[in-house]
Amino acid sequence: MQAVGNPLAESASIVRSSVLKTSFSVEPIAPSIGVEIGNIDLTAPLDDDQYAALRAALVEHKLLVFRDQDITAEQQVALARRFGELEVHPVFPHHPDHPELVVLGGDGKIPGRENIYHSDVSWRARPSMGSMLRCIECPKVGGDTIWVNMAAAYAKLPEATRDALEGLFAVHDLLPAFGTRMTPEERDARRAAFPPAIHPVVRTHPESGERVLYVNEAFTTHLVNYMEKNEVRFGFDFRLAEMDLLQYLFRQAAAPEYQVRLKWRPNTIAFWDNRSTQHYAIQDYFPARRRMLRATVIGDVPV
């Protein structure tokens, strides 16, 4: 995972040593991504060693799962805030007392629409560092979530494809996914507040130094500079070739070899790194109810 001579990777290695000072357990869930953290009580504030060890585990394993954590909304906000400043989502409904908590799930009348591979709020100029999702209520069968290791997806691309991606930038936009939830006036207001963001197609993880494929089919609309790096005969050549490349990159998230699938239970918490993962909420349970609370930690500008 670490790049030789990369100070970010070396720093992450030093932080990981603090895992030995803590008492919680770390059990892999899948070969590529995800661990279950045991023997920890998240109702109590994290001490410095626990925080450092959990952050290092998040960077390394990309998804942390905690079972049987009966915490309050206030405790969830405090726990997530330990890892950074929290956002208030401009579209999703919020918890009545804690606007930092997004309320996900309906009343059995409208199915969820998160069943598309995506990285949370990649349409922001500073997208999310991580998301912390707590299960309040879920069906006994169905409603699983898939996470994908997008660093592995990039690393296993053909070398010629990786070379072709260097220097490419993509546009990420809020409106294609959320515009149908808004009135025309709301769309105008959201467009003014959240213009499309431009991010590198391949970003460098700020803590591990890993290279990560950073486009997703929910929010990425097009490439900014495809023609600068590729010779084309006609305009339609350019557009078709650009869209073919994006579709190929989108499909990498669907490879099972890069994935883990989580079966939810009430009081399960999933904490994942949005800088290096995508996820997909499987919509196979409607009209059963699935209610979640999500806190999202603000990240950095992708480079």
Residues annotated as catalytic are 118, 120, 279, 294
Task: Say which amino acid occupies 285.
Answer: Y
CA 240 to chain centre: 28
Closest residue by Cα to residue 29 from 154, 146, 155:
146
Residue 223 parent element (H or E):
strand 220-223
- Strands, E, within 162-210: which ranges? 169-172, 197-200, 202-204
Closest residue by Cα to residue 45 from 86, 21, 75, 85:
75
Residue 121 and residue 60: Cα distance in Å, rounded? Answer: 22
Residue 55 parent element (H or E):
helix 48-61
- CA atoms in the 13 A half-sphere facing the CB of 218: 20
Residue 113 and residue 103: Cα distance in Å, rounded? Answer: 14
